[in-house]
Amino acid sequence: MSKERARRRAERLAVLEKKLANEKRRARRRAAMRKLKPRVGRSGRLYRRSRRQRVGIVVVPLAAAALIWLLVPDMALRVVLTAVIIVALPALVVVVLGRKA
DSSP 11-22: HHHHHHHHHHHH
Q: Same structural domain for residues 58 and 98?
A: yes
Q: How confident is the model at residue 101 (pLDDT cuts 50, 70, 90)?
A: very low
Q: Same structural domain for residues 33 and 55?
A: no
Q: Same structural domain for residues 7 and 24?
A: yes
pLDDT tens for each residue of 53-96: 889 999 999 999 999 999 999 999 999 999 999 999 989 888 88
Q: Same structural domain for residues 53 and 82?
A: yes
Nearest to 62 by CA among 42, 45, 85, 43: 85
Q: Same structural domain for residues 33 and 52?
A: no
pTM to 2 decimals? 0.51
| Number of domains into which the chain is organized | 2
Domain that holds residue 20: 1-37
